[in-house]
Structure 1
Amino acid sequence: MNTEHQPDEQQTRYGSRFARMFGFVTDDDRAGWEQRRAQNLPKVGAAKLAAKSLAGSMLELGDVIARAKLDAAHRVAAQRVFDEDHDKVVGRRRDPRTRSIIETVDYERKDHRPEIEPDLEP
């Protein structure tokens, strides 16, 4: 048999079979596999997709809310510690040009050292 007289299709199939024996994969083979995989995937209804999306969104929202509450609790605790360790000093003065009262707020660290009785001081 002369390969010149064989149709092109038969030559291609023989060449493809011969190449596959050595592990060569063509793009057509890959395309066929992808198509078969897509056909074998289970069909998911729109209602099921919507329910899954809704459940995922609700879980994500719950996670965001829980994180926000935890963050707020940490900030409140930090503010409470700051308030316990610092004294608030408010300074007021009147601006002579505009007649407005200017307030300045400053925080000073509290002195936690025990006080010494006056008669024991040097």
Structure 2
Amino acid sequence: MNKLVLALGLAATVAMVGCSKEKAPETGATTGQHLENAAEQAGHDVKDATQNAANATATAVDNAAETTEQAAKNAAAHAENAAHSAKEAAKDATVATAAAVEQGAANVKEKAQQ
């Protein structure tokens, strides 16, 4: 966008300078030719700026996709670790419950023998 504004400013300056002078520009080109060249350059600048913006957008999309993929992998790894921890906690709870039941049964048996 800055290039477009610069090119249009340059074209306006060339037009104003060309209109205020009575003699031909030193290059031998007419004011119309200068304006044509400035317009052509502005077109190239706009094309370049558009291509640069498209490239930057494509890069940003690629980076976002890679970041999203990595976040998904991390989330899956954390979920897997949480599932493993839950499984281990369930095992521990089962062992503790079984031990408590066995102890309770032993206490009942002991009292029954007394």
Band of TM-score, shorter chain: 0.3 to 0.5
Which structure has more strand as a fraction of its residues?
A: 1
- Normalising to structure 1: TM-score of the pair? 0.37
Question: Greater relative contact order: 1 or 2 (C-alpha under 8 angstroms, separation 6 or more)?
Answer: 2
